[in-house]
């Protein structure tokens, strides 16, 4: 049996365009409703997801 960690691991993805502008999302749901933030999310640790895989998944989920 795998021991559960007392914390979550997450990624933040800083995406810039060719002019150096940073892409931020305007969050619509709690707990960060109304806040601008980079793309990111929690690793699916129970599936063995790596931080790199998590970053790619979150980018596709949040911006396509």
Residue-wise pLDDT tens for the chain (64 aa)? 467 777 789 999 999 999 999 999 999 989 889 999 999 999 998 899 999 999 999 999 999 8
DSSP E strands, 1-64: 10-13, 25-26, 36-37, 39-42
DSSP state of 3: P
Specify the length of the chain in residues: 64
Beta carbons within 8 Å of 57's beta carbon, 6+ residues apart = 41, 44, 49
Q: What is the pTM of this model?
A: 0.78
Give the Cα separation of 61 and 57 in Å (integer).
Answer: 6
């Amino acid at each position: 049996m795998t021991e559960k960690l007392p914390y979550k691991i997450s990624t933040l993805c800083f995406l810039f365009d060719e002019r150096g502008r940073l892409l931020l999302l305007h969050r619509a749901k709690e707990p960060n409703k109304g806040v601008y933030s980079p793309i990111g999310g929690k690793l699916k640790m129970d599936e063995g997801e790596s931080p790199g895989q998590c970053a790619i998944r979150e980018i596709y989920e949040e911006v396509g």
